[in-house]
Amino acid sequence: MAAQDNSTSSTNTTVCHDGMGNSSDLSPLQKHVAFFDINKDGIIYPWETYQGFRKIGCGVPLSVFASLFINLGLSKKSRPGKWPSPLLPIEVTNIKLAKHTSDSGVYDSHGRFVESKFEEIFKKHARSNANGLTSEELDEMLKANREPKDYGGWVAAMSEWKILYLVGKDKNGILAKETIRGVYDGSLFERMAREHASKKKP
Q: Mean pLDDT throughout 42-70?
A: 96
Task: Work out the pLDDT band at 12, boundaries 50, 70, 90.
Answer: very low
Q: How far apart are CA 84 and CA 155, in angstroms?
A: 22
Decide: 172 and 101 in contact? Cβ < 8 Å: no
Mean pLDDT over each residue of the chain, to the nearest integer: 86
Q: What is the pLDDT of residue 23?
A: 52
Decide: 184 and 32 in contact? Cβ < 8 Å: yes
Q: What is the pLDDT of residue 105?
A: 85
**Per-residue pLDDT tens for 153-192?**
899 889 999 999 998 999 999 999 999 999 998 899 999 9
Main-chain dihedrals φ then ψ at residue 176, nearest 5 degrees: -65, 150
Q: Mean pLDDT throughout 70-94?
A: 95
- pTM reported for the whole predicted model: 0.79
Q: How far is CA 96 from CA 31, 74, 99, 110, 167, in A?
A: 11, 10, 6, 6, 24
The better pLDDT of the pair 49, 9 is held by 49
**Per-residue pLDDT tens for 105-158?**
888 888 888 999 999 999 999 999 999 999 999 999 999 999 999 988 899 889
CB neighbours of 145 closer than 8 A, spacing ≥ 6? 1, 102, 103, 104, 105, 157
Q: What is the pLDDT of residue 141?
A: 95
Give the H or E element holding residue 50. helix 46-55
Residue (of 124, 104, 97) closest to 5 by Cα position = 97
Q: Is 133 helix (H, G, I), strand (E, B) or coil?
A: strand
Residue 15: Cβ-neighbour burial (10 angstroms; 0-12, 13-18, 19+): middle
End-to-end CA distance of the chain: 46
Q: What is the pLDDT of residue 202?
A: 66
- Domain parsing of the chain, residue ranges: 24-200
